Every structure is written in C-alpha cells, then in structure tokens.
Structure 1
C-alpha cells in the first residue's frame, strides 16, 4: 500500500474534468490524479521547484490500480471518510474537494445545506441526504472548530477564496511557521483579501502568501525586540 510519494515532477495534464501529475520516484513513473487547486498552482508556476510530495490514497480494482494525491494528510483522510459512505465513488469524493474546502463541507454538514452538497456533479438529493447524515457524527469535533473559526476569524467568503486561505495555512505550516503564529495573522489576511480582489483583480495565492509572510516576519521582529 502506497501512503505517500516524493519525487520529481515529470508532467501534468488535464483530461476532461480530471487532473493528473506524473512523478518520477526512484526511476518509476507514478500517474496520480490530483485536485484542481494543485493543478492550477502547477499551471501558473506557483510551485517553483521540480520536487513534489503527495499523500496517496490507493484504490485497487480488478482492471486498474488508481492513485489519488493530496497536498495534506487532512485532505487524504477526508477523502477516505467520504469514500466510506455507500454509493460514493472516488470521482465524487474528488469533486467535493475540488469545489469546496474541508471547512466549507463540514459547515454544510452541520447546517444540513443540501443545496450546497448537491451542487457537486454526480450528487443528487438522496446522496446529499446520505452524506450529511453519515458524516455529521464523524466530524463533531471538526464542526465545532470550524464554527468557532468562522465566528472568530473569518466572514464567509466565496468557496474559491476560502480554499485559497486553507491552502495558505497549509503552505505556511510546511514553511515551519507555528500554528499559533498563523492563527494570529489570519484576521489581518482576511481584511486584506477584499482589498486585493478590488485592486486590479490582484487577489492570488502568491500575493496572499507574500502578505502572510510579511506579517509573520514583522511579528517575529516585534517579539525579538
């Protein structure tokens, strides 16, 4: 069973609404389906080097061996939880994570927002009901956390912006910033989002990352002095 892969990025492409990367790991090429958010980062050169590491969910079938790659363990685990529900396949699971952040899905489950869930291609009314019913008890702790986070730190924004902010937090963690530090600067980032969006449509992941790192560096300087 493959849990994660780290190697050189050889190629990436889109086939219909599916997104893939080819990774060379010790001379073996692994074809992996990824989320649209990672594909867009690769396409817009937001990932500068050729090295890539993905958390992997491997699904074995009679005639195929499929690999699904995620940039965080949380995304992978959430994907696995979705797949454990009867009638939910891998493409529906990927579709949910392509359209919404984990936080948005959890809040939708808590508020029983069937319209939001059923807006994902392949999810009808019955499956939406089943997803909400079965996932609600599994994510009690996460639901409470997301409610507090939304209340204390964020106003509700569009799904694309929320996903960008979630990716921003994961990137800052990978750069060895502490969760406590990241949480401190998120309200400032939230205030800047609308300004960046209005300023020549200047809202991008790269700009948000630069802004966040500037805030964090300033905080570190203040503490040091």
Structure 2
C-alpha cells in the first residue's frame, strides 16, 4: 500500500484530459495521474520546488496498476469517497475534482444541484441522483466538516474566487506550511483584499500566493524572536 510519495519531479505531460507526472523516488520512476490544477502549477512554475510530495491512491486492475496523486490528504480522501459511489470509476472521480473544488461539490450535493453535477462528462441524471443520495450520509467526515466550515466563514459567492482560494490552500500545503497557519491567513487575505464582496481586477494567483507566503513567513519570523 502506497500512502504518499516524495521525490524528484522528472517530467509532466498531458494525454487528452488526463494529466501525469513522473517522479523519481530512490531510483524508481513512478507514473502518477494528477489533477489539472496541480499540473498547471507545475507547468507554469508556480511551484518552484521540484522535490514534490503527493498523497497516493493506488488502484489495481486486471490489466494495469494505477496511481493517482493529490496535493493534499483531503483531496485524496474525498476522491476515495467519490469512488465509493456505485458506477463512478477513477476517471469520472478525477473529472469531478478537475472541474470543481471540494466545497463546490459538497454544496452541490447538499442543495441537490443535479444540473451542476451532470455538467461533468460521463455523469448522467441517474448517476447524479445516486451520487447525491450516497454521499449525503458522509457529510460528517472530518474533511467535509472542515471544508464546510471554511466555506461558511469566508462567505464567498463568486465561484472563480472560491476556486482561487482552494488552489491557494492546496499550494501552501504542498509548500509545507501548516494547516493551522493556512486556515488563519485565508480569512485575513479575503478581508484585506475584499474578496468576499468583489473580485480584484488585477488579482492573479501568483500575486496572491506571494502575499500569503509573505504574511506566513513574517508571522513565523516574529514567533521565532
């Protein structure tokens, strides 16, 4: 059982709507399918550290062994929960997480937004009904409770900003900042930039990441004195 992997990034590539990394870990090359958001960060050098860590879900099939990698443990466990729904395979699970953040999926299931769920390729009306029915009972898991609390606290209605903040949180986690620090800085950034009421015209992910890292590093420096 592979729980997570840490190694040197060798190569990234895209095949149709699938995204992959090749990681060198102690002389072995691991081919891992990843989410599009993480792939784009690697491609655009938003993650400069080429020694990366991914949380792994291993799936064994009759003709192949598949590895799926996630920037956070929350993403991995939510992926596993999606796969527990009858009829949903690994590629549909990845498509769901490629298109929506965890908080958006939870909100869609809570509000029974079948139209949004059906917008994912491969999911029809019957499958969306089953996904809503089977995942509703799992909302009390630790991962989902944390996501819901964060969403209610931020009170962001703009889906673009919502996705931006989720990507920021995952990137900071991949850079080894502590979850407690990240959850403290996100509400501060939202309030400081007014993201809960409007969208900054010149806001970019790179600038947002730099701002978050500056605040986190300053806070850590003050604590060290």
Q: Under a length normalisation based on structure 2, what TM-score does the superposition of the two structures give?
A: 0.86
The whole-number CA distance in structure 1 between the counterparts of 2:6 and 2:224 is 36
Q: Deviation at 1:174? A: 5.2
The whole-number CA distance in structure 2 between the counterparts of 1:29 and 1:223 is 40
Greater relative contact order (Cα < 8 A, sep 6+): 2
**Equivalence map 1:212-223=2 (5 Å):** 212-216=212-216
Say whether the 8 Å CA contact 2:53–2:174 is kept in structure 1.
Answer: no
Say whether the 8 Å CA contact 1:110–1:143 is kept in structure 2.
Answer: no
The whole-number CA distance in structure 2 between the counterparts of 1:130 and 1:79 is 16
Question: What whole-Å deviation, never above 9, does each CA across 1:16-51 have from its counterpart, x for those lacking one?
Answer: 100001111111111111000111001101111321
Gap change, CA 1:43 and 1:178, over 3 Å in 2: closer
Q: Deviation at 1:197? A: 4.1
User: Unpaired segments of 5 or more residues in structure 1?
Assistant: none
Gap change, CA 1:83 and 1:211, over 3 Å in 2: same
* 2:70 is equivalent to residue 70 of structure 1: yes
Q: Deviation at 1:179? A: 4.3
Structure 2 partner of 1:100: 100
Gap change, CA 1:151 and 1:61, over 3 Å in 2: closer
Q: Deviation at 1:100? A: 0.8
Structure 2 partner of 1:198: 201
Greater Cα offset, 112-121 or 188-197: 188-197
State the aligned residue count: 221
The whole-number CA distance in structure 2 between the counterparts of 1:24 and 1:221 is 33
- Report the secondary structure of 1:117's partner residue: helix
* 2:48 is equivalent to residue 45 of structure 1: no
- Report the secondary structure of 1:140's partner residue: coil
Structure 1 partner of 2:138: 138
- Report the secondary structure of 1:87's partner residue: coil
Q: Under a length normalisation based on structure 1, what TM-score does the superposition of the two structures give?
A: 0.86
User: Unpaired segments of 5 or more residues in structure 2?
Assistant: none
| Aligned-pair Cα RMSD in Å | 2.5
* 2:153 is equivalent to residue 152 of structure 1: yes
Say whether the 8 Å CA contact 1:154–1:190 is kept in structure 2.
Answer: no
